[in-house]
Amino acid sequence: MSKQKVIICKNILETLKDIVSKEDYSSIFVLTDTNTAKICLPKLSEVDFLSSAKVIEIPAGDENKNLEHLAYIWQFLSENGATRSSLMINLGGGMITDIGGFAASTFKRGIDYINIPTTLLGTIDAAVGGKTGINFCGLKNEVGVINPADYVLIDPQFFRTLDHQNFLSGYAEMLKHGLISSEEELKKVVNFDLQNIDFDKFTELLKSSIVVKEYFVEKDPKEQNIRKALNFGHTIGHAIESYSHEIGKPILHGYAVAFGMVCELYLSYVKVGFPLPLMRQINALIFENYEKFDFGCKSYDRLYELMRHDKKNISSEINFTLLAGIGNLKINQTATKEEIFEALDFYRDAN
């Protein structure tokens, strides 16, 4: 698998122009959603060679990362003369880079694509690492492929337009990267001032966090071993996220991951000895910044059922990545139904 090139841009237009000018693309397509079409696409339109690019627009929202819109993208490409020499530029958050990457990876058995993430979550979680896909049958990212973009172009200026909730959603993944890597990395993330954001300092923090993800992706591109560290907080987090959509009270992905980390830190403490004081410190940080998603014990069975359908599972057992300490990874861990319910109890009782 080829390594994708991640570039934090000082001038994204010049960088994009330089990349595209080196290739002889038969046509260029730009995938956006209804939000990025209004807010971000005009910036790219300043590039001369994109004036003839064909824009594919789909509705915003993770609920639209589905088979219907995937088919629409394929159909648009086909009807507008896309060839194996075409380029697709995915301009948007994680939903766009996920579905756009999947569409590009499968159309005519694969065309080149570039990710330009416009949200912090999309940058940290979706655009880097090569995972692509769609939601299917109510399950998040149930169908997809691992195929890295040729380039990921990151313009930190986009993050200045984010509301605080969406900023926090991305920050949760950075917190995860700190926990699975080193005390130094975790300290930088935990000490960052979330209430008075210094974007110059944040750009440096972002670079450092992306290096953490790239390390795990390069070591284990197909997620057979150490890359599973990136799933910390996601087994329970994905279930909470899917459940929130089911009941019509959707929460942002990063919020679900934050709550998943609370539960999985508890399992880490109980099962592999994660330090109690550190668990309390991380939980306090999460509950100080993330409005709690309420659910009752009657929801546990449904949450458990969603976990049982998680694609990371091995055989019939629910698979977790747990931590014995900062960067002390325990992959391929399991927990009983009773232990998982205890973790959900712990989350509900914590504050």
**183-190 helix and 199-219 helix, angle to the nearest 10 degrees:** 150
Domain identity same for 187 and 273: yes
Rounded CA gap, 281 and 338, in Å? 25
pLDDT, residue 313, reads: 78
> Would 80 be classed as within a structural domain?
yes
Give the single-character DSSP code of 134.
E
153 & 187 share domain: no
Q: To which residue do tokens 């994680």 refer?
A: 94
- Average pLDDT, rounded, for the chain: 93
Helix locations, 120-198, DSSP H: 120-121, 164-181, 183-190
**Residue 107 in tokens:** 């159309």
Final residue of a structural domain among 126, 161, 196: 161
Per-residue confidence band for 3, with pLDDT thresholds at 50, 70 and 90: low
Q: State the pLDDT confidence band at 324, using cuts at 50, 70 and 90.
A: very high
Helix, strand and coil in the chain, % to nearest 5: 55, 15, 30
* Encoded amino acid at 289, one letter: N
Q: Cα–Cα distance between 321 and 257 in angstroms, integer? A: 13
88 burial type by CB count under 10 A (0-12 exposed, 13-18 middle, 19+ buried): buried
Residues 152 and 272 in one domain: no
Q: Does residue 312 lie within any of the structural domains? A: yes
Residue 70, in any domain of the structure: yes
pLDDT in tens, 210-226: 999 999 998 988 888 99
Question: In the structure encoding, which two tokens stand for residue 266, read together?
Answer: 């508890």
The domain total for the chain is 2
Q: Are 234 and 294 within one domain?
A: yes
Residues 135 and 212 in one domain: no
Quick check: 2 pLDDT over 60?
Answer: no
Return the H-helix or E-strand segment holding 143.
strand 139-143
Could you say which DSSP state residue 305 is in?
Answer: H
64 and 23 within one domain: yes
> Could you give the residue ranges of the DSSP H alpha helices within 182-231?
183-190, 199-219
Angle between helices 94-106 and 67-79 (to 10 degrees): 50
Question: What is residue 140's predicted lDDT score, i.e. its pLDDT?
Answer: 83
Query: Residue 20 is part of a domain; what is its CATH number?
Result: 3.40.50.1970
Retrieve residue 340's tokens.
């998982």
- Confirm whether 241 is domain-assigned: yes
Going from the C-alpha of 218 to that of each of 122, 127, 225, the distances in angstroms are: 19, 15, 12
pTM, to two decimals? 0.89
The 10 Å Cβ neighbour count of residue 143 is 16
Q: Is residue 175 part of a domain?
A: no
Half-sphere exposure of 90 (CA within 13 A, CB side): 32
Same structural domain, 320 and 250: yes
CA 333, 346, 213, 253 torsion-angle sign: positive
Does a structural domain hold residue 127? yes
CATH label of the domain that carries residue 345: 1.20.1090.10
Distance CA 149, CA 6 (A): 9
Q: Are residues 141 and 227 in the same domain?
A: no
Tell me if residue 119 falls in helix, strand or coil.
Answer: coil
Specify whether the CB–CB gap between 53 and 42 falls below 8 A: no
Mean pLDDT to the nearest integer, 54-72 = 96
Helices (H) and strands (E) in the chain, counts: 14, 10
Torsion of CA 300, 303, 309, 313, to 10 degrees: -80
Model pLDDT, residue 46: 79
For residue 176, tell me if it sits in a domain.
no
pLDDT digits (tens, 9 = 90+) for 160-212: 888 999 999 999 999 999 999 999 999 999 999 999 999 889 999 999 999 99
The answer to the question of residue 132 being in a domain is yes
Q: Are residues 81 and 218 in the same domain?
A: no
- Cα→Cα distances 129→23, 29, 46, 148, 208, Å: 23, 22, 28, 6, 15
Task: State which amino acid sits at residue 162.
Answer: L
Pairing outcome for strands 328-333 and 320-325: antiparallel
224 and 148, same structural domain?
no
Q: Are residues 9 and 140 in the same domain?
A: yes
33 and 125 belong to one structural domain = yes
SS3 51: coil
The pLDDT value recorded for residue 139 is 85
User: Over the stretch 110-153, which tens digit does the pLDDT of each residue have?
Assistant: 999 999 999 999 898 877 888 999 999 988 889 999 999 999 99
- Domain of residue 32 covers 5-161
Cα separation of 261 and 278, whole Å?
Answer: 13
Residue with tokens 């934090």: 8
